[in-house]
């Protein structure tokens, strides 16, 4: 499978450059008979659009999706679902000054080193706008996962140096996430972040942060050993996002400092049994340091992971770089840029999670000979 596709049986191919005619995706392998509405896709695209007054870029395109195929009379056909979003407000001229300059922290030069050639407008395909196709595809995956009782929630768990309360701890409010432009799970925290971000914006600077994701409703045993493990698949999905620099599951990096006696989650009996193979008892765990995955397979406990994002590299401050002739040059980046990617990354994290899970849920139909 080529570079721009992902998935084994529920596969997605994305296309499009930031300032080309359009972006979009093809979802291939979505089973037939799934109710799917353009509104499902529009809603997710709208979540990744710049919010009002928040830390996000002010490029406010409509991002109106069109379903080109694969849906008939409101249901999926089993054929490829192609979704198109036109670029309507490119303002390519903003980028003319950058044509021969390699922006620090961006892929301008590595892209040229590979292909010998690039679309310099807005980062071309290395733009975060590329995730638009992923989000559209993720909306299809979510529609499928909804029928399985699987719920995915993501939020900004750290931004501009402010950490959110941990899930379930005092002050953590999941209902707050979609109410503030930072997708921060605490109103007070969101206000603190906002202040920091406005301050950074004034300085022409940017901030890193983290996005956490939590999935409930997964049946135990989801994942494909040995190279298609649940956590391996998610790690690839998350590190395929432009600004991501790390991922951890459950206790994550702190597990590197833990001892086995404390880190081992203890199986405990479970009263109500989920759909398991004959002879296999259902169980829970007393803790969830594993983050819901053992041996690359879901444990049935909530799946929990966190992604680290670097500060937005497009800062307003004057920077030094090198130009196409190899000469040192000063660079000032104009245009529209987020201060912190996390609020807009959260729905993309959800979308990528949905793509991985839809694939694995379908693959689990193949686990046993007599299913």
Site for a copy of itself in 331-360 (CB under 8 A): none
290 near a copy of itself, judged by CB under 8 A: yes
* Contacts of 326-331 spanning 24+ positions with Cβ under 8 A: 329/101, 331/98, 331/101, 331/103, 331/104
253 near a copy of itself, judged by CB under 8 A: yes
Nearer to a copy of itself, 52 or 185 (CB): 185
Q: How far is 208 from 8, CA to CA, in rounded Å?
A: 32
56 near a copy of itself, judged by CB under 8 A: no
* Residue position matching structure tokens 């036109």: 86
DSSP assignment letter at 228: B
Stretch that binds a copy of itself, among 56-64, 89-97, 185-193, 253-261 (CB under 8 A): 253-261
- Shortest separation between residue 175's beta carbon and a copy of itself, angstroms: 24
Nearer to a copy of itself, 166 or 179 (CB): 166
304 near a copy of itself, judged by CB under 8 A: no
The interface mask with a copy of itself, positions 114-143, x = CB under 8 A, is xxxxxx----xxx---x-------------
44 near a copy of itself, judged by CB under 8 A: no
Structure tokens at 171: 């002050």
Binding residue (CB under 8 A) for a copy of itself from 140, 150, 194, 247? 247
Binding residue (CB under 8 A) for a copy of itself from 29, 90, 165, 217? 29
Binding residue (CB under 8 A) for a copy of itself from 7, 50, 138, 189? 7
2 near a copy of itself, judged by CB under 8 A: yes
Count residues binding a copy of itself (CB under 8 A). Answer: 170
Angle of helix 131-146 versus helix 38-48 axis, rounded to 10: 130
Nearer to a copy of itself, 39 or 175 (CB): 39
Contacts of 243 (CB under 8 A, 6+ apart): 128, 309, 310, 312, 313, 341, 345
Nearer to a copy of itself, 169 or 257 (CB): 257
13 near a copy of itself, judged by CB under 8 A: yes
182 near a copy of itself, judged by CB under 8 A: no
173 near a copy of itself, judged by CB under 8 A: no
Choose among 34, 91, 82: nearest CA to 58: 91
Peptide bond between residue 226 and the one before it cis (omega within 30 degrees of 0): yes
3-state secondary structure of 284: strand
Angle of helix 342-363 versus helix 230-239 axis, rounded to 10: 150
207 near a copy of itself, judged by CB under 8 A: yes
78 near a copy of itself, judged by CB under 8 A: yes
Question: Given phi > 0 = left and psi -120 to 50 = alpha, else beta, which region is 62?
Answer: alpha
Q: How far is 371 from 369, CA to CA, in rounded Å?
A: 6
Binding residue (CB under 8 A) for a copy of itself from 192, 310, 335, 336? 310
């Amino acid at each position: 499978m080529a570079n721009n596709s992902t998935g084994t049986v529920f596969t997605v191919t994305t296309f499009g450059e930031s300032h080309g005619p359009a972006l979009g995706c093809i979802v291939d392998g979505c089973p037939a008979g799934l109710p799917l509405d353009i509104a499902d896709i529009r809603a997710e695209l709208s979540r990744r659009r710049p919010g009002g007054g928040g830390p996000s870029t002010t490029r406010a395109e409509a991002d109106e999706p069109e379903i080109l195929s694969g849906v008939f009379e409101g249901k999926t056909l089993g054929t490829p679902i192609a979704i198109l979003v036109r670029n309507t407000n490119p303002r390519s001229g903003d980028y003319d000054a950058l044509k021969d300059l390699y922006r620090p922290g961006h892929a301008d030069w590595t892209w040229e080193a590979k292909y010998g050639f690039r679309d310099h407008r807005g980062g071309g395909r290395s733009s975060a706008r590329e995730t638009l196709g992923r989000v559209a595809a993720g909306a299809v995956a979510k529609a499928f996962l909804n029928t399985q009782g699987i719920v995915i929630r993501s939020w900004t768990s750290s931004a501009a140096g402010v950490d959110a309360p941990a899930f379930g701890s005092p002050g953590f409010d999941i209902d707050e996430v979609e109410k503030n432009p930072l997708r921060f799970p605490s109103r007070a925290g969101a206000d603190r972040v906002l202040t920091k971000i406005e301050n950074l914006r004034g300085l022409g600077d940017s901030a890193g942060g983290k996005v956490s994701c939590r999935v409930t409703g997964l049946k135990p045993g989801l994942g494909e050993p040995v190279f298609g493990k649940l956590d391996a698949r998610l790690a690839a999905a998350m590190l395929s996002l432009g600004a991501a620099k790390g991922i951890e599951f459950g206790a994550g990096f702190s597990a590197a400092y833990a001892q086995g006696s404390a880190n081992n989650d203890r199986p405990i009996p479970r009263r109500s049994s989920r759909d398991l193979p004959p002879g296999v008892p259902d169980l829970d765990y007393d803790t969830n340091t594993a983050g819901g995955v053992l041996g690359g397979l879901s444990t049935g406990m909530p799946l929990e992971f966190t992604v680290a994002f670097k500060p937005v590299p497009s800062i307003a401050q004057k920077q030094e770089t090198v130009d196409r002739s190899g000469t040192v040059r000063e660079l000032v980046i104009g245009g529209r840029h987020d201060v912190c990617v996390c609020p807009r990354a959260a729905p993309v994290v959800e979308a990528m999670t949905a793509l991985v899970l839809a694939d694995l849920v379908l693959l689990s139909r193949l686990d046993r000979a007599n299913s």
